[in-house]
Amino acid sequence: MTAIPVADVESLRPMWIRTTLVRLALACLLILVLALAFVSARMLEPAKASLLPEGTSAVVILDVSLSVTDPVFRRIHNAIKMISEGGQGVGLVVFSDVAYEMLPPGSAPEELKGMLRYFKARSVQDPDLAVYPLSPWSAGFSAGTKISAGLELADDVLEREKIENGSIVLLSDLDTAPSDESVLSQVVANVQSKGIELRVVPLFAFEQDLTFFRQIVGKENLITPPQLAAQNRRKAESTLFGANPSMLSLLGGLVLFLLAANEWWGARVEVPRRAA
């Protein structure tokens, strides 16, 4: 494009300054609206179901007894990974015949990632002979299982920390010793009487153990991994189809308006060609 010489160019300076300021203001507004649109779009992402009850300070009780088999180890690995990536503070108690507190309530969930290696099999030629790293608790725990020991310690931890909105999540194959069943029933009743939410995640449990736990904790408090996956699907559907993206639509309209305004107020002056 060929420039047109103008004798009184100084008289055009106020208009040039005004146009420049208008375009800068529109550019700033456009950047702001795009940022708000990005935040609004992120809010429409489907929420994920969690093993931990929402709005509570949870203590996870993890069964590390020798009755836990290879498939259970893999499922424990997946459960710990899910909790460690959930962003919700958590406490951890491990148990076999006795219980031990590994993390106090409210600990950063990322601290659980250090345990993942103990539930991931080493590479072996025969996949049926999975070998797991020796864990720090291997020497201190026996083959016996007393779920009541883990539950009692978790209850004591919540009481010690004076946590009012506490919850307990049990990850276990639910194969407790027969001599522990009556004690466990009393401990469960005591925990629930305090208003502490108790969630049980069975890991390849036998039907007789599932039946026993349904009786003492209530069927509604048992959640299996397939049920958790179904919750994830329902939450995703409710977020994507039930959400009202009106804010995102409004911001999109503002973007179009600002682009049109920039073209209207910031366009170059068109000089008509002289007729031949």
Question: What are the pLDDT digits (tens) for 8-34?
Answer: 556 656 666 766 776 677 677 767 767
In single-letter form, the type of residue at position 27 comes to: A
Predicted local confidence at residue 53, as pLDDT: 86
Predicted local confidence at residue 97, as pLDDT: 86
Q: Is residue 38 part of a domain?
A: yes
Q: Is residue 275 part of a domain?
A: no
Give the separation between CA 102 and CA 274, rounded to whole angstroms: 87
Same domain, residue pair 89 and 17: no
Q: Is residue 190 part of a domain?
A: yes
Q: How confident is the model at residue 77 (pLDDT cuts 50, 70, 90)?
A: confident
Same domain, residue pair 214 and 91: yes
Q: Is residue 276 part of a domain?
A: no
Q: What is the pLDDT of residues 166-198, one digit of tens each?
A: 999 999 989 999 999 999 999 999 999 999 999
Predicted local confidence at residue 241, as pLDDT: 46
Predicted local confidence at residue 129, as pLDDT: 61
- Res 62 pLDDT > 70: yes
Q: Is residue 197 part of a domain?
A: yes
Same domain, residue pair 84 and 198: yes
Same domain, residue pair 24 and 109: no
Closest CA to 99 of 162, 146, 66: 146
188 vs 133, higher pLDDT: 188
Same domain, residue pair 33 and 148: no
Predicted local confidence at residue 123, as pLDDT: 62
**Is residue 168 within 8 Å of 151, Cβ to Cβ?**
yes
Q: How confident is the model at residue 1 (pLDDT cuts 50, 70, 90)?
A: low
Number of domains in the chain: 2
- Res 51 pLDDT > 70: yes
Q: What is the pLDDT of residues 214-256, one digit of tens each?
A: 999 999 899 876 777 676 666 555 554 444 556 556 656 666 6
pTM: 0.66
Work out the mean pLDDT of the chain and round it to a whole number: 77
Same domain, residue pair 143 and 220: yes
Q: Provide CB contacts within 8 A for 56, sequence distance 6+.
A: 165, 166, 167, 197
Instruction: Pull the structure tokens for residue 178.
Output: 């027969």
Q: Is residue 4 part of a domain?
A: no
Q: Which of 20-24, 67-71, 162-166 has the lowest mean pLDDT?
A: 67-71
Give the separation between CA 213 and CA 227, rounded to whole angstroms: 17
Q: Is residue 1 part of a domain?
A: no
Residue 128 vs residues 124, 135, 172, 189: alpha-carbon distances, Å: 9, 20, 22, 40
Same domain, residue pair 261 and 215: no
Same domain, residue pair 74 and 135: yes
Same domain, residue pair 182 and 232: yes
Predicted local confidence at residue 10, as pLDDT: 63
Same domain, residue pair 150 and 81: yes
Q: What is the residue range of 155's domain?
A: 57-236
Closest CA to 58 of 182, 165, 192: 165
Q: Which of 35-44, 52-61, 195-204, 239-248 has the lowest mean pLDDT?
A: 239-248
Q: Exposed, middle or buried: residue 63 (CB in 10 Å: 0-12, 13-18, 19+)? A: buried
Same domain, residue pair 31 and 157: no
| CATH number of 81's domain | 3.40.50.410
Q: How confident is the model at residue 6 (pLDDT cuts 50, 70, 90)?
A: low
Closest CA to 224 of 197, 196, 205: 205
Q: Is residue 2 part of a domain?
A: no
Q: How confident is the model at residue 274 (pLDDT cuts 50, 70, 90)?
A: low
